[in-house]
Structure 1
Amino acid sequence: MSTDKKRHHYVPKAYLKAFVDAKGRIYVYRKDEPDKVLHVNPDTTQFQKYYYSQPLPEGGTDNNRLEDFFSTIEDRWPDVVARMKCREPLNDNLEQIFNFIALQRARVPAARDMVEATMATTVKATIASMIRAGKVQAPPAPLKLEDIAVTIDPHQSIHAMSTLIAAMGPIFSRMGLAVVHNQTGSPFLTSDNPVLWFDPSVPFAQQHPYNTRPNGPINLLFPVTPYVLVLGSNRYLETFREHGLLHTDVESDEWVHLVNAQISRFAYEAVIAQAPGTEAVIREFASVSPHEPSILEIDTAEIVVHRQVFGARPKKLKWVP
């Protein structure tokens, strides 16, 4: 009889172990308390209890199926990382690399909370339309509809993960990938939301997370170890189509610092480091995370705008069945 799994990691241990120090631990900086660093084993962080649990039609809950399936992808990742570090040809591993990156984009709280926030706003927009049509009564004054909390069953965002993974296909089709080897003394950071992309033609302060123009410039960053990173770019597309995934070096501390700034502000709740020394950049972006704002106008017509921005992370309300 299989044992129910309780600790469901959204950042897999197989990934985090590439960032451990000599003691087998990582440094976790929580954005809510950036000056309070946790020096922990990868097994004890970046998980939620029953995060992938699903209700069964006949009753009860399946706590293992998704966790077991994800493990089949995670278990092969350390071998890919080893090949990256040794600068080996990786074209026979491209499917594994694409699958791992896509899964890591879709499974994290940053993505699932965004889905639930979008659903909650859609519910409010529907109610607003029904109020104007006289199908339901408006909230009593001075209460406003936009002030009413709407929570979404987390099971719904589990279903949405497949859609988020499929949406990575068009993103990947716009870019080529390269493995960047960090030759500086400044290690790469990672986070609880390690897959990020943006429009590099827009100034840093004006960029929006996961927002690019159709067929426009795009950069994707995925830290693999403190000294290896997968870089996707439309500039690499033709080379990638001709030669596949190649290796390159970076010797610029300034470039590594800019990468760490992106990683820090794309981080949702936590930034992860192999060693102390990057507290300044972590602290600089501790007050912002990517999240989904929505605009709702009730008096005339609902206008729902879904666009991720960098800002204070909204507090997620607990779902009560």
Structure 2
Amino acid sequence: MHPTHPEDPKKHHYIPVCYSKNFTDKGGYIHLVDTWNQNHYFPQKPEKALAINYLYRQPDHAEQRFDTALEKGFSNYVESAWTPAFERLKRKEPVSAYDWVNIVKFICSLHTRTPIVLDAILFLLRESVIGQYEETIGLASDDPNLKIFCDMYRERNSNKSVGPIHFSNLVRSGIIDLNIDPHRRLSSMPLLVNNIDIFQENFAFGGPFLIHNITDLPFISSDNPVCYFNRNRTIKESVPYSSKQAKNFIFIFPISSNIAIVNNNFIKTKERHVTIDD
């Protein structure tokens, strides 16, 4: 992999081709439904689908492309282990503990390598800085160094009753631009892969098994292709990426159009491969 330059734009597949290619039809196309565009339906080759240009593009750092190094880490260590593990599952061969670790990391990476996660990390980092300022300094209106900014805030809101001004008021109104080093959100991604509690704490329960679908209705996937829920919870009580108090916990992950990994802690089966035909 070579450093990215403007004349050679990097296209980052947030759903890796090594995963999406297992959902192709006989012609090698995956069939996509864009739910944000009136459920627009269209076929596309995996190499051209589920990608975004310059997702990791950042300024040069220490004469090395930090974004390229990060992507190389995902490609070399996470994606490269997926295909061999998938082929063993497909052939119903024994899968080692090492393979399961790689499978779990791959699943976690699908959650972290998306634009919305990068934006969420940046938002949380900004909120952390705001919180630290307000905890240590107090009100912005009491800080003489911020007097000019507070005056600007009052002028902008002259038609309103303005009380004590918080640092967060200045940031969210755009008067103060709080810049976060973009490399920090990139370096957070591998940390997320290793700390999503749903997998680290509960994936081992019961032992996962595989469903082999030989019906005429294939499994489908999405750009967030993992389902897990507690059947005793309402949808409002469910917290994404959290498996706390998972007494009746179900994990479903389609790995191809006819194979899915399933795990739970209430259906006990000694079979590691189950076939459904109707």
Q: 1:161 to 1:224 in 2, by over 3 A?
A: same
1:6 to 10, 21, 29: 10
Unaligned runs of 5+ in 1: 253-321
Match of 2:27 in 1: 23
Match of 1:259 in 2: none
Q: TM-score, normalised by structure 1?
A: 0.64
Residue deviations 1:70-116, cap 9 Å, x none? Answer: 22232342232222222222235223212222222322234333322
> In the superposition, relative to structure 1, how do residues 249 and 207 fare at CA in structure 2: closer, same or farther (>3 Å)?
farther
Q: Which residue of 1 aligns with 2:209?
A: 178
Q: Which moved more, 1:26-35 or 1:2-11?
A: 2-11
The match for 1:120 among 120, 126, 131 is 126
> Contact (CA 8 Å) 1:199, 1:211: kept in 2 or not?
no
Structure 2 matches for 1:225-264, cutoff 5 A? Answer: 225-235=256-266, 246-250=272-276
Superposed displacement of residue 6, structure 1: 1.0
Residue in structure 2 matched with residue 194 of structure 1 by the alignment = 225
Structure-2 residue corresponding to 1:84: 89
How many Å separate the matches in 2 of 1:114 and 1:219? 26
Say if 1:212 and 1:81 are closer, same or farther in 2 by CA, change over 3 A.
Answer: closer
The offset of 1:23, in angstroms, is: 1.5
1:1-321 superposed matches below 5 A:
2=2, 4=4, 6-53=10-57, 55-59=59-63, 61-72=65-76, 73-91=78-96, 93-126=99-132, 130=137, 132=139, 134-135=142-143, 136=146, 138=150, 139-140=153-154, 141=157, 142=160, 145=169, 147-148=172-173, 154-168=182-196, 171-174=199-202, 175=205, 176-204=207-235, 207-214=238-245, 216-235=247-266, 246-250=272-276
Q: Which has the higher contact order (CA 8 A, sep 6+)?
A: 1
Deviations 1:34-71 (A, max 9, x none): 43223111111222223234544434634532232222
2:266 & 2:121 partners in 1: Cα distance?
Answer: 30
Give distance in 2, aligned partners of 1:94 and 1:107. Answer: 20
SS in 2 for 1:160: helix
Conserved? CA contact 2:198–2:241, under 8 Å = no
Structure 2 Cα separation of the partners of residues 156 and 31 of structure 1: 31
AA of the residue aligned to 1:120: R
Which residue of 1 is the match for residue 165 of structure 2?
A: none
Q: How far, CA to CA, are the matches of 1:212 and 1:63 in structure 2?
A: 31
Give the CA deviation at 1:152. Answer: 5.0
What is the distance in 1 between the residues matched to 2:275 and 2:173?
A: 52
Decide whether aligned partners of structure 1 residues 211 and 3 sit closer, same or farther in structure 2, where only a CA change above 3 A counts.
closer
Q: Contact 1:198 / 1:210 at 8 angstroms: preserved in 2?
A: no
Q: 1:5-31 deviations in whole A, cap 9, x for unaligned?
A: 711222111111001111211122223
Preserved contact between residue 178 and residue 232 of structure 1 (Cα < 8 Å)? yes
Q: How many residues align?
A: 247
| Distance (Å, rounded) in 1 between the aligned partners of 2:179 and 2:40 | 30
AA aligned opposite 2:37: E
Please say if residues 33 and 40 of structure 2, whose CA atoms lie closer than 8 Å, have aligned partners that are also in contact.
Answer: yes
Cα distance in 1, alignment partners of residues 196 and 180 from structure 2: 24
CA contact (8 A) 2:58 2:66 kept: yes
Tell me the equivalent position of 1:267: none
Letter in 2 for 1:197: Y
CA 1:2–1:109 in 2, change beyond 3 Å: closer, same or farther? closer
Residue identity in the other structure for 1:106: T
Between the aligned residues of both structures, percent identity stands at 24
CA distance in 2 between counterparts of 1:113 and 1:200 reads: 31
SS of the aligned residue for 1:248 comes to strand
Normalization by structure 2: what TM-score?
0.72
Q: Which amino acid in the other structure matches residue 125 of structure 2?
A: M
